Chain A
Amino acid sequence: MKKCEEISKGLIAYLEQRANPAERRDMEKHLAGCAACRTRAEEFRALWKVMEDVPAIEPSFGFDARVRQRVAAEPHRNWFGWFAPQARLALSAAMLVALTVWVTKLPQNNHHDVTATPVAVNPSTDQDFDAIKDLGVLENYDVLTKFDALSESSTTSAPQSDKAPQEEPSSND
């Protein structure tokens, strides 16, 4: 005969008629010769009956409302939530495009200014040209200042250069 400790683990399954045929035969054989286990089996059945005397409680009146409130407070992902990552991506892409356009547009503006500048600059350029067009004579400044013939010449050459009157004192030296 199996020891009580060894076989008693199967006692509950036996009492609930969940034991397989072999386990049931072993248990019945054991119980037939063991008064202590028969008493235990009997008291287990009585215990389960006694345990039914504990009444069940009902959840409080506001239980459902509190659960719904807590569920409602959860962050919901609506249908447009599916687009959330795409929206971020689209925003980044849009910003990149805008930046690219701005960067590429910046040199074009400068170029436009450059192209526009000649219109405004042309008159001054012409004036400058007029101012310096006679300066070629300065290339021969040394020659001219040391050219004795000039000092002897009449002042009729003065209109050729604005410098000429300034050179006269030195020529006198």
Chain B
Amino acid sequence: MARSDVQLMLDVKAGDEASFDFLLQKYRSPLVNFLNRMVRDTATAEDLAQEVFLRVYRARKQYTPSAKFTTWLFRIATNLALNSVRDNRHRRMGISLDAPANGEGSAPMELPAREKRIDEHMIERDRADVIRRAIGSLPEKQRAAVLLHKYEEMDYVEIAGILDCSEGALKSLLFRAYETLRVQLAPLVAQPAAHRGEEGRPS
């Protein structure tokens, strides 16, 4: 019988290095992908993923199974990613760290004209890159919510736990994020929808 993540972590706490290796094998790919989509840089994503595993290992003695293991794991990853994104932005823009971040609560992101933006990108880059860029252009917290919801297939309770917000706030966050993506990726989104016609519409 396969051990649960919590049991594996408790075994790591008890000194079983093999259980840590098992967790590493299980979560390295989801973590690297999540972080890569968050920071949009493979090398940075790998560095951050290593840091996540290192922090898990360091915290093994204090580990108590109060929440799902993945909630804890992705909370560490999300916090590291958010810090990395903010640090990079401040470095890139050369602005003071005291300046307000362009995240939640700040002025809404100005969306460019949908056809022009997509056309430009479609010429220069492939479809996947356009989608990746659209996701990457979301404010950090919205981006994290979308990635955890869409790619990690987590439920609202878990995502809210990771992002430290209420379920209601998370629903608003997700709605705003998907609404932005729907606008930005309209040409890609409209094509399959048009093909389905009336069948895909909820009654």
- A residues with a Cβ closer than 8 A to B are 8-15, 18, 27-28, 31-32, 38, 40-51, 53-60, 63-64, 66-68, 70-71, 74
Contact = CB atoms under 8 A, between A and B. Distances in A.
A54 B131 contact: yes
A159 B114 CA distance: 142
A13 B200 CA distance: 17
B54 A59 contact: no
Interface in B31-87: 32-33, 36-37, 42, 46, 49-50, 53-54, 57-58
Dominant secondary structure of chain A at its interface with chain B: helix
Dominant secondary structure of chain B at its interface with chain A: helix
Given A46-B189, A50-B189, 4 more contacts: A12-B171, A28-B202, A51-B135, A63-B32
B29 A9 contact: no
Contact of B46 (A42, A44, A47, A63): A63
B131 to A, nearest CB: 5
B203 A45 contact: no
B21 to A, nearest CB: 8
B190 interface: yes
A70 to B, nearest CB: 5
A144 to B, nearest CB: 97
Nearest to B200: A42
Interface of B: 20-21, 24-25, 28-29, 32-33, 36-37, 42, 46, 49-50, 53-54, 57-58, 127-128, 131-132, 135, 150-151, 155-156, 168, 171-172, 174-175, 178-179, 181-182, 185-186, 188-190, 192-193, 196, 200-203
B196 A42 contact: yes
B197 to A, nearest CB: 10
Contacts, number: 117
Given A46-B193, A47-B178, A64-B24, A70 B50 contact: yes
Contacts of B151: 51
B23 to A, nearest CB: 11
Contact of B201 (A42, A55, A57): A42
B28 A63 contact: yes
For A38, A49, A59, the residue with the greatest tally of chain B CB atoms inside 10 Å of its CB is A59
Contact of A51 (B25, B36, B150, B193): B150
A59 B171 contact: no
A19 B183 CA distance: 25
Given A57-B42, A59-B46, A59-B49, A41 B201 contact: yes
A85 B60 CA distance: 21
B175 A43 contact: no
A32 B203 contact: yes
A126 to B, nearest CB: 78
B192 A11 contact: no
Contact of A9 (B172, B181, B193): B172
A14 to B, nearest CB: 8
Contacts of B155: 18
Contacts of A18: 155-156
10 contacts: A31-B203, A40-B179, A42-B196, A51-B151, A51-B181, A54-B135, A63-B28, A63-B32, A64-B24, A74-B54
Nearest to B174: A12
Contacts of B32: 57-59, 63
